[in-house]
A = this chain, B = another copy of it.
Amino acid sequence: MGLTKTENFTVKQNQIAGMAKALAHPARIAILQEIIKAKSCICGDLVSRINLAQPTISQHLRELKNAGLIKGDIEGTSVCYCIDEHHWKLLRDTLNTFLNQVPEIKDNCC
Interface residues of A (CB under 8 A from B): 4-6, 8-10, 13-14, 16-18, 20-30, 33, 36, 39-41, 50-52, 71-73, 75, 80-85, 88, 91-92, 95-96, 98-102, 104-110
Contacts and interface: CB of A to CB of B under 8 A. Distances in A.
B102 A52 contact: no
Contacts of A104: 85
Q: Which residue of A13, A51, A71, A81 has the most chain B CB atoms within 10 A of its CB atom?
A: A13
Contacts of A6: 26
A26 B36 contact: no
A51 B5 contact: yes
Contact of A23 (B20, B30, B73, B88): B20
Nearest to A93: B99
A91 B102 CA distance: 12
Nearest to A81: B110
A73 B96 CA distance: 27
Given A10-B30, A40-B106, A96-B96, 8 more contacts: A4-B25, A4-B26, A5-B51, A21-B21, A23-B24, A40-B105, A81-B110, A95-B99
